[in-house]
Structure 1
Amino acid sequence: MSFVVVEKPRPYITQITLNRPDRMNAMAFDVMVPFKEALEEVSFDNETRVVIVTGAGAGFCSGADLEDPGWLDIFDGLTVPGIARRAMKILDDVIKAIHDMHQPVIGAINGPAIGGGFCLAMATDIRIAAEGAYFRPAGINNGLTSAELGLSYLLPRAVGTSRAFEIMLTGRDVEAAEAAAIGIVSRAVPKEVLLEECYAVAERINGFSQLGVELSKQMLWSGVDAGSLHTHMNHEGHAQLFVRMTTQNFEEAIKARKESRAPDFKD
């Protein structure tokens, strides 16, 4: 059985599904290593314009696999602290792989996103949740810190500092409706239409310039990370000029508008 399923449900859309529903798609190494490999491979698939990440069964991802996290050869000969460091690096690299993908990544949050699963959801670029989904920063409930895998960086930028502090310090569940209201997800929809909603968003994005979308994603994340407005505006300007001067996208958009048709972008 493959714990990560990669398929193309629509043209130019690749769906990557965590496929261990009996364990709520927990972050065991035999799931996360092939998941990272799939992300990296799809990132360089030029027939993929948008990526959708979801979970099989009732849950999106339940975080750390407390039953059987698995073993990797890179752990051989290490003490517990050394194993922990290697393990954290593997999970960190999954989050970074999503962030670094050329394509926009839509998180189809089909059920509970707990602990590392919450972090995984927040790493995606666009999030749409099923109405029964919820988000929980579980570490604080287990005597640890809720700050892991980028959550203390990403969540305040999505919902503001006060809400992020309150959620992460109380370890409470955030139901899908509240998640939509405060900005954890774009919206909450009935579970039976979740993937169709994600496909509709992906297909709209697919209608635009591939290069323009890729650079827009890059500039959005650059803006989140920017040290100053002036520096970021300079980066934005160069990205815009690059697309404007190296493609015919702008001319095609104007021509298509005059001819009352959808533009046919080549780049």
Structure 2
Amino acid sequence: MRVGIVGGAQLLAVGRLGRIHQLGHERFKRVAQLLRARAQGEVHRVLRDRRTGAGGSARPSTAFVECGMLSTSALTEIRTRERTWTRMTGVELSSPGEGVLQITFARPASLNALNLEAVQDLLAVLDEVDRRVDTRAVILTGAGRAFCAGFDLTGYGDDERLSEQGLTRGLISRQSQITDSLVRLHELPVPVVAAINGPCAGAGLSYTLACDIRIAAAGAVFSAAFLRAGFTACDLGASWLLPRIVGVGRAHELMLTARRFDAPEALRIGLVTDVVPADQLIERALGIAGQIKQHPPLSTLLSKQGMAVGLQMPSLRASIEFENRQQVLSAMTEDQQEAARSFLEKRPPQYANR
């Protein structure tokens, strides 16, 4: 089931406008329920058709008018957000399974090379992912035959920013925006599985490094290609992430040569954990997501945070002290008790996320 991205934008808008207009919890809940129902129905079909040029004129924001819960100014802001999201073309958000969201780089004609629009779309999608509290795992992949070939060398698309801010400040602003998207992907509260379906170079490689688990199609190829384009190899967190995944020596060799390497080598050096036929890649990623969903949400979150913090701890003792506190927190949750009961009763767990 594909999830209409516009509905997510509206939920984002209502979440913020709800605070502005001081909507009560129950009233906001009614809006969210209506939105979710409509997200699976006719309104989003119309918007999808309109985005692809198939016509249609319905406006999902009228759902909120029917609720009688938003002022004229609030409705205007939501409609502005609708127009912004219907223009989204660089990144897509879908839901291939219950509790699982899929982020797809969606510029296949350019091997999913990124530009300003795509990065802005990615940031908006990450906003939506953050907002969905029922999400248990995220899959990151690419449309067509590539995962992501890095940044579009024909032009990033922010000439106006460079003109307004000057070259130095404008480039710093550009870098900050791009790296913010990578850090936010890395810090999502749920595990992220990179399903690397094809060429993965430069920034594309960095985005996979920001994921928790990486699997690749048999035909995928990789390169830390920044040097090939004349830039420093140390970009988008690669100098911090890659050595922690494949080791310092191998990271230096890959970054300083910018050479291409294939999926079997990526598996051998520990960059990916599995290589599968291309037509089984998403199925395998969904299988990993299914394994993640078997465990309590908060315990999974604490585990992801604990491993990230552990890499930065100065000593074994400091790491253990941190772990001790996480164990106590997980032991105090209702879901930990449900996990134990379901294990003893040999039945699937029913988690309440609390």
- Separation in structure 1 between the aligned mates of residue 265 and residue 323 of structure 2, nearest angstrom: 33
5 Å matches for 1:24-103?
A: 24-71=111-158, 74-103=161-190
Report the CA distance between 1:130 and its aligned residue. 0.7
Q: Deviations over 1:63-90 (max 9, x none)?
A: 1211121127644422222221111111
Contact 1:29-1:72 at 8 Å conserved across structures: no
Q: Which of the numbers 310, 319, 322 marks the counterpart of 1:223? A: 310
SS of 2:164 mapped into structure 1: coil
Whole-Å Cα distance in 2 between the matches of residues 228 and 44 of structure 1? 35
1:207 aligns with 2:294: yes
Deviation at 1:204, TM superposition (A): 1.1
1:40, 1:97 within 8 Å by CA — same for their partners in 2? Answer: no
Structure with bigger RCO (C-alpha 8 Å, 6+ apart): 1
The Cα shift of 1:188 comes to 0.9
Letter in 2 for 1:137: A
Alpha-carbon distance, 1:232 to partner: 2.0
Q: Deviations over 1:133-152 (max 9, x none)?
A: 11101122233321111101
In structure 2, distance between residues paired with 1:41 and 1:204 = 23
Question: Runs of 4 or more off by more than 6 Å in structure 1?
Answer: none
Aligned 8 A contact 2:105 2:143 in 1: yes
- Alignment coverage as a number of residue pairs: 266
Give the aligned partner of residue 243 of structure 1: 330
Residues 12 and 31 of structure 1, relative CA distance in 2, 3 Å threshold: same
Matched, 1:111 2:194: no
Q: Distance in 2 between matches of 1:253 and 1:96?
A: 31
Q: 2:349 aligns with which of 251, 263, 267?
A: 263
User: CA 1:207 to 1:73, structure 2 compared with 1: closer, same or farther past 3 Å?
Assistant: farther
Task: State the Cα distance separating 1:253 from its structure 2 match.
Answer: 2.9
Q: Pick closer, same or farther for the CA change 1:159–1:16 going to 2, 3 Å.
A: same
User: What amino acid does structure 1 have at the position aligned with 2:254?
Assistant: I
User: What are the ranges of 5 or more consecutive residues in structure 1 without an aligned counterpart?
Assistant: none
Task: Decide whether the 8 Å contact of 1:40 with 1:101 is kept in 2.
Answer: no
More deviation, 249-258/139-148: 249-258
Partner of 2:274: 187
Percent identical across equivalent pairs? 36
Does 1:130 find its partner at 2:217? Answer: yes
Instruction: Single out whichever of 229-238 and 100-109 deviates more from structure 2.
Output: 229-238
Shift of 1:264: 2.4
1:102 Cα deviation from its structure 2 partner = 0.9
Question: Quick check: 1:59–1:110 contact (8 Å CA) kept in 2?
Answer: yes
- Measured on the aligned residues, the alpha-carbon RMSD in Å equals 1.5
In structure 2, what is the equivalent of residue 157 of structure 1? 244
Equivalent residue, structure 2, for 1:6: 93
1:8 touches 1:14 (CA, 8 Å); kept in 2? yes
- Once residues 73 and 170 of structure 1 are traced to their aligned partners in structure 2, the CA distance between those partners, rounded to angstroms, is 34
| Bigger-Rg structure (1/2) | 2
**For 1:189-221, what per-residue CA distance to the aligned partner results, in whole angstroms no more than 9, with x for missing partners?**
111000000001001111110111111111111
For the Cα contact (< 8 Å) 1:226–1:232, is it kept in 2?
A: yes
Question: CA distance change for structure 1 residues 74 and 141 in 2, over 3 Å: closer, same or farther?
Answer: closer
Q: Report Cα offsets for 1:145-177 as digits up to 9, x if no partner.
A: 211111011111101111111111111112111
Structure 2 unaligned residues grouped into runs of 5+? 1-51, 53-88
